[in-house]
Amino acid sequence: MAKTNPGRFFEDYSVGQVLHHAVPRTVTDGERALYHALYPARHALYSSDEFARNCGLPQSPIDDLAAFHVVFGKTVPDVSLNAVANLGYAEGRWLKPVYPGDTLRSESEVIGVKQNSNGKTGVVWVRTRGLNQRDEVVIEYVRWVMVRKSNPDAPAPDTVVPELKQALEPQDLVVPQGLNFSSYEFVQAGEAHRWGDYAIGEKIDHVDGVTVEEAEHMLATRLWQNTAKVHFDLTFRPEGRLIYGGHVISMARTLSFNGLANAQMIVGLNGGAHANPCFSGYTIKAWSEVLDKAETGIPGVGAVRLRLVATKGGEPFELKNDDGRYLPNVLLDLDYWALMPV
């Protein structure tokens, strides 16, 4: 119908276009509590105002991924409603912590378009920014999706493929103002190992698993105001509601507490692939690999670059088969930077 949102099709995007996404959202202690109910979230900086203050912040921020999901959710009606596939992420940065009471909105700039050779679909790259009520950018990231054309005869646009970094450089990372790990309480954080104890190439099996339920992923996805019907409507997808990829990211990240409890703040998202779809009834497990380490310039605050892999049960440390394709049990392969006490 004319008054409902049909979503955008490939021919509706052009490089340079700025999309102002709808429905700003004030995030509060309510969202924080729900994040702890939905995920086994135990990172102390996001659990305790006292712990956060001891680290130089005014109070405990909204979980980095919760803020990401809020920003991301707003883009769905304009970017991915007619998407065939979520192809990738790059150059994601957390620039300011989000605190209870902040109001977030999102905008995206189209930075690339490329019609596929089949003429029926194309790839769209957008750089999305999440802004708070003071118009400060709190999060930014690039995402690209494959989108259907509405009219197969619409002419192909000039191809523009943006140059994107394989990974953020340490100097790209923004350490929140005031963050200070000089009196970091390792016992309270639940983990004795610090930045110096992790070696590049080291792999960690996070051991725990969570069998996911329909009600849970729908509660989570709605909370971020991502209302794409693939996640909710069983008449639309009789084979099973597809679980929002961000639910898998948050589940894996929070499971990684067991072994990476001091990887407190996420500051960079280098890339990510939703390797296989996730459905209710799957048991999500996670493992990590230390890809890199860097200093941040802030005394006491180190950065670790981590691969975070979510699997459907299965063995840890297995990722791809011989021809380079993800194994069927791999759900997520995420590459991010986090801050850790030195």
Q: Which of residues 187-216 bind a second copy (CB under 8 A)?
A: 187-191, 193, 197, 204-211, 213-216
Of residues 171 and 215, the one with the C-beta less far from a second copy? 215
Of residues 34 and 160, the one with the C-beta less far from a second copy? 34
Question: Would you give the binding string for a second copy spanning residues 223-262, x where CB under 8 A is met?
Answer: x-x-x-x--xxxxx----x---------------xxxxx-
Distance CA 57, CA 40 (A): 23
- Check binding of 48 to a second copy (CB under 8 A): yes
Distances (CA, A) of 303 to 175, 238, 250, 259: 10, 44, 20, 16
**Residue list 94-133, contact with a second copy (CB under 8 A):** 100-101, 103, 105, 133
**Separation of CA 130 from chain center:** 13
Q: Minimum Å distance from CB 304 to a second copy?
A: 12
Q: Minimum Å distance from CB 115 to a second copy?
A: 27
Q: Minimum Å distance from CB 227 to a second copy?
A: 4
Query: What would the two tokens of residue 50 be?
Result: 């006292």
Distances (CA, A) of 44 to 41, 197, 219: 9, 19, 24
Distance CA 102, CA 232 (A): 28
**Residue list 27-46, contact with a second copy (CB under 8 A):** 28-34, 36-42, 44
Q: Minimum Å distance from CB 89 to a second copy?
A: 24
Q: Minimum Å distance from CB 332 to a second copy?
A: 18
- Check binding of 51 to a second copy (CB under 8 A): yes
**Residue list 143-172, contact with a second copy (CB under 8 A):** none
Q: Minimum Å distance from CB 78 to a second copy?
A: 10
Of residues 23 and 137, the one with the C-beta less far from a second copy? 23
Of residues 15 and 210, the one with the C-beta less far from a second copy? 210
Of residues 101 and 178, the one with the C-beta less far from a second copy? 101
**Backbone CA torsion sign across 74, 75, 81, 83:** negative
Backbone angles phi, psi at 270, to 5 degrees: -85, -35
Answer for which of 84, 87, 175, 219 binds a second copy (CB under 8 A) is 219
Degrees (nearest 5) of the Cα angle 282, 209, 222? Answer: 60
Are the C-beta atoms of 189 and 50 separated by less than 8 Å? Answer: no
**Residue list 298-327, contact with a second copy (CB under 8 A):** 313
- Check binding of 341 to a second copy (CB under 8 A): no
DSSP 21-37: -S--EE--HHHHHHHHH
Q: Minimum Å distance from CB 266 to a second copy?
A: 18
Of residues 5 and 118, the one with the C-beta less far from a second copy? 5
170: nearest Cα among 320, 304, 21? 304
- Check binding of 183 to a second copy (CB under 8 A): no
HSE of 21 in the Cβ direction (CA atoms, 13 Å)? 31
Of residues 34 and 156, the one with the C-beta less far from a second copy? 34
Beta bridge partners of 308: 288, 334
Distance CA 217, CA 219 (A): 5
**Backbone CA torsion sign across 184, 174, 198, 330:** positive
Distance CA 306, CA 263 (A): 9
**With contacts defined by CB under 8 A, how many residues of the chain interact with a second copy?**
77
Of residues 54 and 115, the one with the C-beta less far from a second copy? 54
Distance CA 342, CA 319 (A): 30
Q: Minimum Å distance from CB 9 to a second copy?
A: 16
Q: Minimum Å distance from CB 119 to a second copy?
A: 27
